[in-house]
C-alpha cells in the first residue's frame, strides 16, 4: 500500500489507517484474540497506521496484535516494527495528559508513542486545555512522543492549528455529506473544512482525516464517500474504523482498482446506536425521530429502542457531537 510522509514529522504512513474503536468495548466488544487478528490482517494488507485513544480501551488489542506479528514470518515482523501508532486523550490539564501518555507507553509496551493528540478539541477548547498542550510539547521534547497535534470535528479549530507553531499533525473530520462538521456551536460544510485542511497542509502540518462514512451512515454510498476524500490532495491519510476483515479487504480492493463500479457493502444488518461515551443528552436526536424510538435512559443519555427504529438516519444528522453511529 502507498505510503506518504506525514507533514514534516518524518513519519511514513499508509494512505489508509485503521481506527480500532469498532473492535473495542464501546462498539463490537470483540474477544481479545479476534480483535487482534483483525489488526494483524490490516497490517498484512499494508496498513501501517493505527489510531486509538485512551478512552477507547483498545490498547490490549494492539499489544496482542504486535505479539502475534512478532512471532510470524519475517515480512510480518518487519511490518509490525514499522507500525505508526496514534493515540489521544481527553485530558484537560498537564498531569492528566502526561499520565495518559505514560499509560499508552506502558500498556502498549513501547518506548514511545509515534503520535499523541489532544482528543476532540472544540471551539475554545485549545485555550482551555493549555496545560494538556504543554504536556504534549514536553513529552515530544523528552522523546516520549514523536509528533503532537489535535483531533477535531471543528473547522475553526483546524484553522487555528495552521498557525500553531508547536502543532505537527491535525486529525480532522470530513466527508462529502458534511456530517458532523462543526464551526462553533453550529454546523459547517465539507468545503469549509477542506479549506482549513489546506491551510494546515500549506503550513507544513501532517493531515489525516476521520469519519469518511459519517459514523457508518454513508456506507450505502461507499465508493462515493471514498472518492471524495481520496480525490483531495490536501488529505494525506484517511483513518477508517474497521470491525471485520472483510472491511479491510474492501478498502484494499477499492485502492487497487479491482472493486466493481457498482459495489456497495451489505449494510442490512447494521443498526443505529448511540455511543454512551459521546452522547451529551441534549435531545436533538429525539426531536427528529418520527418513530419515537429514542428515549432517555437511567443515566440521562439518549438510547434507541431497536423495535421502533426505522434506521432512517435522521438522528445522525441531528446530533451535534456525532454520537449516533451505525454498525
Residue 27's Cβ-count burial label (10 Å; 0-12, 13-18, 19+) is middle
For 187, the enclosing helix (H) or strand (E) is: strand 186-187
Q: Residue 24: which residues within 8 A CB-CB, separation 6 or more?
A: 30, 35, 56, 57, 58, 61
Residue 210, beta-bridge partner list: 173
- Count of Cβ atoms closer than 10 Å to residue 142 Cβ: 10
| CA-angle at 263, arms to 257 and 266, nearest 5° | 130
- Count of Cβ atoms closer than 10 Å to residue 220 Cβ: 15
Task: Please give the model's pTM, rounded to 2 decimal places.
Answer: 0.92
Please, are residues 87 and 112 in contact by the beta-carbon 8 Å criterion?
no
Q: CA dihedral defined by 40, 43, 45, 47, rounded to 10 degrees?
A: 140
- Quick: pLDDT tens for 32-83: 999 999 999 999 999 999 999 998 999 999 999 999 999 988 988 898 889 9
Structural domains in the chain, CATH included, are 3-256 (3.20.20.100), 272-326 (3.30.70.20)
Averaged over successive runs of 10 residues, the pLDDT of the chain (327 residues) comes to 96 98 92 98 97 96 96 88 96 98 97 97 96 98 98 97 98 95 94 98 98 91 98 98 97 97 88 90 93 93 92 86 87
Which residue bears the cell 447494521? 270
Amino acid at each position: 500500500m502507498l505510503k506518504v510522509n506525514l507533514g514534516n514529522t518524518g513519519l511514513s504512513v499508509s494512505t489508509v489507517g485503521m481506527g480500532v474503536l469498532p473492535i473495542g468495548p464501546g462498539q463490537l466488544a470483540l474477544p481479545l484474540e479476534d480483535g487482534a487478528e483483525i489488526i494483524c490482517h490490516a497490517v498484512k494488507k499494508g496498513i501501517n497506521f493505527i489510531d486509538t485513544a485512551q478512552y477507547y480501551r483498545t490498547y490490549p488489542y494492539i499489544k496482542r496484535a504486535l505479539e502475534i506479528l512478532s512471532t510470524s514470518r519475517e515480512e510480518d515482523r518487519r511490518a509490525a516494527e514499522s507500525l505508526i501508532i496514534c493515540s489521544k486523550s481527553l485530558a484537560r490539564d498537564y498531569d492528566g495528559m502526561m499520565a495518559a501518555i505514560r499509560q499508552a507507553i506502558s500498556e502498549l509496551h513501547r518506548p514511545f508513542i509515534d503520535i499523541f493528540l489532544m482528543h476532540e478539541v472544540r471551539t475554545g477548547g485549545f485555550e482551555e486545555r493549555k496545560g494538556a498542550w504543554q504536556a504534549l510539547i514536553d513529552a515530544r521534547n523528552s522523546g516520549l512522543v514523536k509528533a503532537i497535534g489535535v483531533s477535531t470535528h471543528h473547522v475553526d479549530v483546524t484553522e487555528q492549528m495552521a498557525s500553531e507553531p508547536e502543532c505537527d499533525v491535525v486529525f480532522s473530520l470530513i466527508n462529502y455529506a458534511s456530517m458532523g462538521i462543526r464551526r462553533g456551536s453550529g454546523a459547517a460544510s465539507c468545503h469549509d473544512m477542506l479549506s482549513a485542511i489546506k491551510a494546515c497542509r500549506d503550513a507544513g502540518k501532517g493531515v489525516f482525516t476521520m469519519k469518511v462514512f459519517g459514523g457508518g451512515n454513508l456506507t450505502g454510498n461507499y465508493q462515493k464517500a471514498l472518492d471524495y476524500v481520496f480525490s483531495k490532495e490536501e488529505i494525506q491519510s484517511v483513518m477508517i474504523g474497521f470491525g471485520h476483515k472483510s472491511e479491510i479487504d474492501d478498502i484494499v480492493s477499492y485502492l487497487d482498482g479491482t472493486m466493481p463500479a457498482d459495489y456497495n457493502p451489505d449494510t442490512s444488518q447494521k443498526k443505529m446506536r448511540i455511543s454512551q461515551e459521546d452522547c451529551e443528552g441534549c435531545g436533538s436526536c429525539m426531536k427528529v425521530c418520527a418513530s419515537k424510538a429514542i428515549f432517555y435512559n437511567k443515566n440521562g443519555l439518549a438510547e434507541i429502542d431497536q423495535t421502533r427504529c426505522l434506521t432512517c438516519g435522521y438522528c445522525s444528522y441531528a446530533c451535534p457531537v456525532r454520537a449516533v453511529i451505525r454498525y
